[in-house]
Structure 1
Amino acid sequence: MFDRFSWHTNNLSDTRLRIKNDVCFRSSMKPATFASFQCQAIPAHSPQAGGGTVLSNITTPLTNTSLSTNTSYPSTDTSTSDIRDPCARLPLTPELWQSLNLDHYLSTFPGGNNLSLELFAEKVGATNFECGIGQMCNANQICQPVRGRDWYILVAAQNWNSFSNQMYQATAFALGVIQGLASSIVNDYAPHQTDRLMYGGTFMGDIAGLCGAIPGFIFPAVFAYFSGKIWPLVQGGTGFAGGLLWTYHNIFAKLPSDEFSKTMDVDYMLSKAEAETQAKLSSSTKKVIQSGISTEDGLYGALQGGLFLNNHFSYTERSQDEIKTAIATVARGRLIAAIWKATKFFIIRGHLPCTQDGPNGALPGDNVFSYCNSEGMMMNIVQSVEGKMVEKFSSAQLLTAKYNITTQYFVEHSWNCQEKYGSYCYNPYKNSVLPADPDAECIVSLAVCDMTRKDIRKAAKRMGVLKACRNVGKLPGI
């Protein structure tokens, strides 16, 4: 399935060779600044990608900036380079975009309201500059032939196009990983409850959050540095997070009655989400390319602020295994938590003393979710089923054996999140990129009924634990 991801590798190899040879030449003229860059002969054609990688490196125009992926901007000191020189090779940074006033230049370009990207490129001297999904446009080196501000705009357009292509390519693979996990977890923990999972779109909303995190899994360095600025682009430009819920509600509403049951099938929903998300990304990319370069819908809107005039979008290739590991590590916990929340699982804290027969005094058996910490505090994962509290589960042992997650991980993360934010099931990632780190705060967050509270403990003696947690503790959804 990955052959389609290797179409552009050869297109980039020649550019990389030119970059590297030029850097080696220039580094011989002055002290070397590339600590990790080795100047060695490289083949004319790199090996075909696809078997080991989903992504390919973004083509980087030749500049005098470092090619290493660092976490800070290269220097923007232009005292040694006259920016009025149309052939000056200046560092690719958003600051340079601002100093050249390229937002104003694009928005006021003569005839720019009706000039597409391709026509603009031809007008400034770049022939065959054809961007789009499945195409890799290349600005070449400055003054060969495009000069000055026009070249820097084409460089940013090239990086934007490469980013869009990589997002498109990674969608199928990343959603495939999530789909496989979701199907497995639903089968293990809610095999006959898909109607409950789909009711109200809550479960699909949690999966949508994972889909919205896909760019961060693929470009961790980029999103670590630019998350605040690039998140609106991902939301609006690619529609990852919104696309899945859109799919759910629109497919749900339009299906004939004899196909209604398909909306209860997680595999079906995620397959549709993949197709819809890729279609939305392709459409939005096409719209930018075909709209006038001076309009919000066109190049001006896509490049505004100079985010894509940046070497942070270079050398970000990750292998299939790396992407799969990054997604799966976080997705396992998030998906299990989403299913458990939708099926009325919650945590009780301090209900029993740590004097039982299990590890460190927790409840014994491989059919319970029970943990005691070093301070003697027991926390158990339980479920509300038809007004009764269920504490034993035949699939409990799969949490560690199959999904490599411990009860300790779930209960401690949930409690720490609840204590910090003072809210049940708090999600700090609603308007930001979900980190590709399973130990980040609130990655999993089940509601915790704190029975060390005197009012809840007192009520439990009178009405039982479940009712006390619901009526006095005000736990939602149980």
Structure 2
Amino acid sequence: MRGQSLLTAIAATVAMASPVPNPQGTGKGADSCPSKALTPATWTALNIDSFLGEVAKNYTQTTTNNVQSVADFFGAPNFFCGLHSFCNAGQPCLPIELPAWYAMVAIQNWNNYMNSLNTAIGFASSILSLKLPQIVQDVFPDPIDNVTPLGNMMSIVGGMLSVVPVTGAISTVSTSVQFGLDFVNARLLPPAPTDRFLVWSDIASSMGDVVKEYQAVVSRSMTAVLNAAIDDPDNGINGIISKGTFLGISQNFTQTDLQSAVVDSITMNALGLALQAQRVFVTRFSNSKACNGENENTLCVKNDGSETFTQWSMLRRSGKANAGSMIDTSKVLMNKYGMTKHEFLKGPTDCYDKNGKTQLTNPFNRGMPLDAKAACVFNVLVCDIDSSRGIGRQGIVDYCQKNQGLDI
């Protein structure tokens, strides 16, 4: 009773900040308590952040599950959130009065979102477990299991999680992806496994480790938020739902929804990882006087305003100092995966140039790449060679190792 009285007083104070009257209903059930659209604009107009700040001073703080405690304060003692639990705010004034109901809808959506992320981790593992063995068969027939850091899979899964919707459907709109990435990186990023590698010959076991670690972080994060005081600066629910970010209408999604949004990008990236594991690299010969035998594995382009050419080739160490052409692999990339020579030969050098000559920039550190053909999604090492200067008596491998520091 005391909670309801305090709530009425707090709500009256906040309502003063929103002079626009609510539409009148029929006086029956939830219709006697008409609500506004579930949008951040409504949240701001009703000044709900300030409302929750006042609630934090008046509800009964507990040692565990403060989210349930504040729900009880609002008149909903059976509002229990958590992993595999789905709390329901009900309808306006049944039982939670406005504007508290908006806050509880946002908490409900946060809870749904966290459960969706937990589910999506399993989806992501299944998608990768189906795709990676096929890539191994196509371009990595003799897999090496102690080369590719397991952290690469962590970042891919994190990128996939960034498209999971807070409300609405799966989205690859850049603003939605950025919010998802920021949230995952801030609260759900497992420690980077610095001493473990992707087992290319047993993808399922590696993905099992990734799932276990990601889902453990989701569980810990949910528990911390549910138990924290609602105005706790680190884990309080007030801060998480502030500005109405979680106000909206949740929708379910399937593994098929997620797969259709991410499969092209993860395929291109995984192809690059498989080639990186074999120490494959692209050479870029600048200032060449002529094109030198262009084939499936060579791209040659005349430089603008010059009589010189730039030529790219994909190579792999062959013997002690020389390199062999990856013609068979290039045919697979073109014929099976639909890549062009510009994408798998020039693409890595574009990524290298755009990132200050940094090797192997990981695009998933910035969220789910929205364009599978964008620079850095498919990536291998780059070795720059100025043809006008030559490399002396060194072989290409020796030059790229000694002069450019490539681990090939």
Q: Give your verdict on TM over 0.5.
A: yes
8 Å Cα contact 2:282/2:312 also seen in 1: yes
Structure 2 vs 1, CA of residues 261 and 81 (structure 1 numbering), >3 Å: closer, same or farther? closer
Alignment partner of 1:439 out of 367, 373, 386: 373
Q: How many residues align?
A: 367
How many Å separate the matches in 2 of 1:162 and 1:392? 47
> Aligned with 2:391: secondary structure?
helix
Q: Match for residue 477 of structure 1?
A: 407
CA displacement 1:423-461 (0-9 Å, x = unmatched):
13352646531323213342223333233x35xx52424
Alignment equivalent of 1:166, drawn from 85, 109, 116: 116
Q: Which amino acid aligns with 2:282?
A: I
Opposite residue 345 of structure 2, the aligned amino acid is V
Alpha-carbon separation, structure 2, partners of 1:223 and 1:238: 21
Asked whether 1:269 is paired with 2:178, we answer no
**Structure 2: distance between partners of 1:262 and 1:458:** 41
Equivalences for residues 64-83 of structure 1 within 5 A: 78=18, 80-81=20-21
Contact 2:282 2:382 in 1 (8 A): yes
| Residue identity matched to 1:332 | T
Distance 1:429 1:106, change over 3 A: farther
Q: Deviation per CA, 1:281-326: give whole Å up to 9, x if none.
A: 23322332344333333423532444212x3x645x5554342233
- Encode CA deviations 1:30-85: one digit per residue, 9 max, x unaligned: xxxxxxxxxxxxxxxxxxxxxxxxxxxxxxxxxxxxxxxxxxxxxxx9553369xx
Kindly indicate whether residue 235 of structure 2 is the aligned counterpart of residue 297 of structure 1: yes
Amino acid at match of 2:59: P
User: Which residues of 2 match residues 323-334 of structure 1 at below 5 A?
Assistant: 323-334=258-269
State whether structure 2 residue 56 is matched by structure 1 residue 119. Answer: no
Cα 1:261–1:276 shift into 2, 3 Å: closer
Determine the structure 1 residue equivalent to 2:295.
363
Q: Which runs of 5+ in 1 are unaligned?
A: 1-76, 253-259, 357-361
Partner AA of 1:90 in structure 2: K
Partner of 2:26: none
SS in 1 for 2:217: helix
- TM-score scaled to structure 2, two decimals? 0.76
Are 2:241 and 1:341 aligned? no
Distance in 1 of aligned mates of 2:19 and 2:373: 44
> Using a 3 Å threshold, how does the CA distance of structure 1 residues 395 and 379 change in structure 2: closer, same or farther?
closer
Q: Name 2:355's counterpart in structure 1.
A: 421
For residues 226 and 426 of structure 1, what CA distance do their matches in structure 2 show?
26
Following the alignment from structure 2 to structure 1, what is the Cα–Cα distance between the partners of residues 59 and 107?
19
* 2:295 pairs with 1:379: no
Which stretch of structure 1 is more off in the superposition, 420-429 or 381-390?
Answer: 420-429
Q: CA deviation at 1:280?
A: 2.8
Give me the whole-angstrom Cα distance separating, in 1, the residues matched to 2:113 and 2:341: 38
- 2:161 and 2:198 map into 1 onto residues whose CA distance is 31
Q: Is the 8 A contact 1:136 1:161 kept in 2?
A: yes
8 Å contact from structure 1 (residues 183, 267) kept in 2: no
Map 1:74-473; keep pairs closer than 5 Å.
Answer: 78=18, 80-81=20-21, 87=33, 89-94=35-40, 96-98=42-44, 99-100=47-48, 101-102=50-51, 104-105=53-54, 107-112=56-61, 114=63, 116-198=66-148, 201=149, 204-219=150-165, 221=171, 224-239=174-189, 242=190, 245-246=192-193, 249=195, 265-295=202-232, 296-309=234-247, 311=248, 314-315=250-251, 317-350=252-285, 353-354=290-291, 356=293, 362-363=294-295, 369-373=297-301, 377-385=310-318, 386-392=320-326, 394-425=328-359, 427=361, 429=363, 431-451=365-385, 453=386, 457-472=388-403
Q: Secondary structure at the match of 1:422?
A: coil
Counterpart residue identity of residue 216, structure 2? A
Q: What amino acid is the match of 1:181?
A: K
When normalised by structure 1's length, the TM-score is 0.66
Contact 1:348–1:380 (CA under 8 A) maintained in structure 2: yes
Q: String of CA shifts for 1:249-276, please: whole Å, max 9, x gaps.
A: 4xx6xxxxxxx99797432111222233
CA distance in 2, matches of 1:300, 1:330: 35
Separation in 2, partners of 1:265, 1:276: 18
Q: Per the alignment, do residues 89 and 109 of structure 1 end up closer, same or farther by CA in structure 2, a change over 3 Å counting? A: same
